[in-house]
Amino acid sequence: MSKRDDRHDLMRLRLLAAQDALSLSAEELAQEDKEAGVDTHAEAKRWQASMRATAARVLRDARPVRNAEYAPLSARVRKRPDIDALKVLVREVFAARPELGLAYRDGKHQSDEDWKSLYDDLVDAGAIVPDEHED
């Protein structure tokens, strides 16, 4: 038997054991845990918490590191278009992308300051290109 076959065979043997794990009934699983003194629910919660933490860690590690000097566009000094033009722009964005309207209550009943803030948010979100509207 070749060495490569030994490795294959070991993997197949492990999978045979896994097949048994999949074939166990709920009652058999509970009985085995009981005999081994394992709290099935507590152990499940422990595994879930650990797996959740692992998944979160991978996402966190994969996130690009923000430049320390980065500041959101809305935090910079900006010369917005006049309020009427700004409202038109925001309404156009909501008309083209209704899903954003849901997040911003469809732009209704907002003060001018709300509109300005909304405009800044949409610029930050990339929905409005400021260079096309600001001096």
Residues at the interface with other proteins (CB under 8 A): 1, 3-24, 26, 29, 32-33, 40-41, 43-44, 46-48, 50-52, 54-59, 62
Contact 79, 135 (CB under 8 A): yes
Name which of 44 and 125 has its Cβ closer to other proteins.
Answer: 44
Q: Given the complex with other proteins, which of 49 and 103 has the nearer CB atom? A: 49
- What's the min distance (Å) between Cβ of 51 and other proteins? 5
Token code pair at residue 123: 């610029």
Between residues 18 and 83, which has the closer beta carbon with respect to other proteins? 18
Nearer to other proteins by Cβ, of 30 and 85: the residue is: 30
